[in-house]
Amino acid sequence: MHWVFYSTVSWIIITYYITTMKKNEIIKGIIIYLVSIVLISFLAGIIVTNMKLITVTHDKIKYLDLLLKRVIVTPFLLLSLVSKYNELGTYLKKAALAVLLLILFLIIEYIDIKMQLYTYIKWNILFSILLNSFYIFTALVINKYFYVIEKWGEHR
């Protein structure tokens, strides 16, 4: 059941992003994607193996679902956020979108706990809010300052 859920959700998210992305944002999207999966995997490693705040499942299929979340679901949701964020006119709408995504991340995390993909040891929802806010913040910072990388190339 969890495998069906995660593979379906992954397909929906990827298909949604690919069908709505703009061609001129592909390169920025790739950078956001790669930075996201590096950050997510490093922080997951620190939280799980070093600080032991969360234990992850030892079941191979459930761990695959967790990998799908780290490599597909979370990064592509961030990409979709950035894509929609740039279209919105007012900062209120942009803030509302970021909050909506944060709530979506928390809902997914709740489902993960129910499906026993991982277990909180010394972790709580506040830490999840902080962590997911950090991911959203990073994606939005790259979105905002991507032009710096592009301009750097032009001036050299």
Among residues 63, 84, 108, 111, the one that binds other proteins under rule CB under 8 A: 63
In the complex with other proteins, which residue's Cβ is closer, 91 or 152?
152
| Residue 86 lies near other proteins (rule: CB under 8 A) | no
Task: Tell me the site size for other proteins, rule CB under 8 A.
Answer: 32
**What stretch of H or E contains 54?**
strand 54-56
- Are 155 and 67 in contact by the 8 Å Cβ rule? The answer is no
| Residues 6 or more apart in contact with residue 115 via CB below 8 angstroms | 1, 2, 5, 62, 65
Give the integer Cα–Cα distance in Å for 111 and 45.
21
Minimum distance, C-beta of residue 91 to other proteins, in the bound complex (Å): 26
Among residues 8, 20, 49, 119, the one that binds other proteins under rule CB under 8 A: 49
Cβ density class 49-58: b for 16+ within 10 Å, e for less: eeeeebebbe
Specify the stretch interacting with other proteins by CB under 8 A; choose among 12-20, 60-68, 87-95, 112-120.
Answer: 60-68
Binding residues for other proteins, rule: CB under 8 A, are 23, 26-28, 30-31, 34-35, 37-38, 41-42, 44-46, 49-50, 56-60, 63, 67, 70-71, 146, 149-150, 152-153, 156
